[in-house]
Amino acid sequence: MKEKLDNIKAAALREIELASTTAELNNVRVKYLGKSGEISLLMRDMATVAKEDRPAMGKLVNELRNAVEGTLIAKTEQIAELEKQARLKAEAIDITLPSSAQRLGSLHPLTAIRRELIDIFTGMGFTVADGPEIESDLFNFQLLNIPKDHPSRDMQDTFYVNDNIVLRTQTSAVQARIMTNAQPPIRVVSPGKVYRSDDDASHSPIFNQFEGLAVDEHITMGDLQGCLTTFAKKIFSEDTKVRLRPSYFPFTEPSVEVDVTCSMCHGKGCRVCKGTGWVEILGAGIVNPAVLDMCGIDSKKYSGFAFGFGIDRIAMIKYGIPNIKLLYENDVRFLAQFN
C-alpha cells in the first residue's frame, strides 16, 4: 500500500509539473482529487486495510492529498501569472508608433469673415441686429423710399413670394425695421443672407450682405468716411486707401460708391482689380431724410449714414477667389485651403 501511495504521488507530481495550461492542470486535478480520482478512491480502499493499520494509512493518504493539493495550487498560480503575461504582451500598444494624422475642420471663409467684420464694427460701438429673410415689400422697398412703381426696383432682381412678400434683396431691410422700432442714437450692423435673381461668376442668387447704420445728431459724410476707412484698414491691411465716388441709392442722399486700393497688389494693378489698382466694395450714403421721416425719426433733429456690402465680395477680394460659386459649392478641397 505504501508503495502504491508513493507511485501515485510521483505520477501526480510529474503530471502537475508537465501541465502548461490551466485546462491541463484541471484534468490532473480531476484525475487525482476528483470524486472518483485516484486519491479519493484510496479513502474508499481503507475498508480493506487491517483495523490497526488504518490510522497510519489514513495519515499517509492525507499527507499525499495535501502534497498534491499544495503543488496544484502553486502550479495554478504560476500558470495564471504566465497566461496573464502572455495576454498583456498580446494586447500591448506601441505608444511610440506615429499616430494617423487627424484632419481638423475649419470655419467657412464666409463665416470667418462675418465674424471678423462683427468684431471690427462692435469695436467701433455698433451692435448686431437680425431680420427675416422672407420680408415684406414695406421694409425691403417702401420704407427705403422705393415705392411700388419706382424704376430703382430694377436695380435688384427680386424673387417675389407674392405682391407684398419678397425674399429680401438687401439687408437694408433691417435698417428700416430698426428705425421704425427705435429712436437715435442708433449704431447697428446686420449681416445676413439676401436673394436676387442674378447668376454669373460674380453673382449668386443667394449671397451674404453686411449693412451698417448710424443715426444721431450731427452725423456727417465725414463720419461715414472715417468709419469705412477704419473698417477697410482692419479687414484688408493698414496701407489700404478708401475713395468715395458719387452714386445713387433711393434711401441715401447723397449716395456714394466706395472703392478701396486692391489688397492683392496694393494699388499697383493686377487680375483682381483688372489693372486699375482699385476695387469697388460697397454702396453707402447719408440716410435720405425722407426715409428717416417715414420710419418715425425726426429728420430735422437727426441725420445718419448707412452702408451695405457683400460679405462674399470681401472674401473674393481678400483671398483672390475668382468665382462666387466656390463659396457655395462647399467642395472640401476648396474649403480646406482656409485652414
Contact positions toward ligand PHE, by CB under 6 A?
170, 172, 211, 249, 252, 283-285, 306-308
- Residue 324: which of 199, 168, 211, 210 has the closest Cα? 199
CB of 283 to ligand PHE, least distance (A): 3
Q: Toward ligand PHE, which CB reaches closer, 158 or 170?
A: 170
Phi-psi category of 265—alpha, beta or left, where left has phi over 0 and alpha has psi -120 to 50?
A: alpha
Nearer to ligand PHE, 72 or 214 (CB): 214
Comparing CB distances to ligand PHE, the nearer of 136 and 172 is 172
For the CB of residue 242, give the shortest distance to ligand PHE in the complex, in Å: 15
Q: Could you count the other beta carbons within 10 Å of the beta carbon of residue 138?
A: 16
CB of 203 to ligand PHE, least distance (A): 12
What is the distance between the alpha carbons of residues 313 and 301, in angstroms, rounded to a whole number?
35
Q: How far is the CB of 150 from ligand PHE (least distance, A)?
A: 14
**Residue 8 to residue 165: CA distance in whole angstroms:** 102
2-18 vs 22-33: helix crossing angle, rounded to 10: 170
**Whole-angstrom distance, CA of residue 83 vs CA of residue 124:** 71
What is 190-255 written as a DSSP string? EEEEEE-S--BTTB-SEEEEEEEEEEETT--HHHHHHHHHHHHHHHT-TT--EEEEEEEETTEEEE
Q: Are 5 and 64 in contact (CB under 8 A)?
A: yes
Residue with cell 498534491: 68
Q: From the CB of 100, what's the least distance to ligand PHE, in Å? A: 47
Say if residues 152 and 201 touch (Cβ distance below 8 Å).
no
- For the bound state, the minimum distance from the C-beta of residue 313 to ligand PHE, rounded and expressed in Å, comes to 11
Min dist CB 266 to ligand PHE, Å, is: 26
Q: At what angle do helices 38-45 and 2-18 cross, to 10 degrees?
A: 170
Q: How many CA atoms lie within 13 A of 34 on its CB side?
A: 9
Measured from the CB atom, the residue of 61 and 173 that comes closer to ligand PHE is 173
Residues 6+ apart with CB under 8 A from 95: none
Residue in 121, 104, 165 with CA at minimum distance from that of residue 140: 165
The smaller minimum CB distance to ligand PHE, of residues 16 and 189, is found at: 189
CB-based contacts of 145: which residues, under 8 Å, 6+ apart?
A: 250, 251, 288, 290, 291, 294
Choose between 16 and 311: whose C-beta lies nearer to ligand PHE. Answer: 311
Query: In the complex, which residue's CB is closest to ligand PHE?
Result: 308
* Rounded least distance, CB 310 to ligand PHE, Å: 8
Q: Which lies closer to ligand PHE via its Cβ, residue 61 or residue 258?
A: 258
CB of 265 to ligand PHE, least distance (A): 26
